[in-house]
Amino acid sequence: MAIMDIEVRIRGLMMDPATNMPIVVLKDVASDTVMPIWVGIFEANAIAIEIEKVVAPRPMTHDLARNLIQHLNAQLERVVITELRDDTFLAVLWLRQGDEPVTIDARPSDAIALALRADCPIYVSEQVMQTAKLNTTGPPEGPTAEQLRGWLEGLNDEDLGRYKM
Which CATH number goes with the domain that contains 86?
3.10.690.10
Domain assignment present for 28:
yes
Mean pLDDT lowest for which of 19-33, 60-74, 97-111, 133-147?
A: 133-147
pTM for this model (two decimals):
0.80
Amino acid identity, residue 136?
A: T
Domain assignment present for 164:
no
Query: Which is it for strands 122-125 and 5-15: parallel, antiparallel or unpaired?
Result: antiparallel
Domain assignment present for 162:
no
pLDDT in tens, 19-65: 899 999 999 999 989 999 999 999 999 999 999 999 889 999 999 99
Count: domains in the chain: 1
Domain assignment present for 143:
no
Does pLDDT of 152 surpass 90?
A: no
Does pLDDT of 126 surpass 60?
A: yes
Does pLDDT of 154 surpass 90?
A: no
Neighbouring-strand partners of residue 26? 10, 35
% of the chain beyond a pLDDT of 90: 67
Q: Half-sphere exposure of 158 toward its Cβ, with a 13 Å CA cutoff?
A: 0
Expressed as residue numbers, the domain containing 24 is: 5-137
Domain assignment present for 152:
no
Domain assignment present for 27:
yes
Domain assignment present for 153:
no
Rounded to 5 degrees, φ, ψ at 48 are -60, -40
Domain assignment present for 22:
yes
Mean pLDDT lowest for which of 61-65, 78-82, 133-137, 151-155?
A: 133-137
% of the chain beyond a pLDDT of 70: 79
Of 26, 51, 50, 29, the C-alpha closest to 38 is 26
- Pairwise CA distance, residues 13 & 25, whole Å: 6
Does pLDDT of 106 surpass 90?
A: yes
Q: How many CB atoms lie within 10 A of CB 136?
A: 19
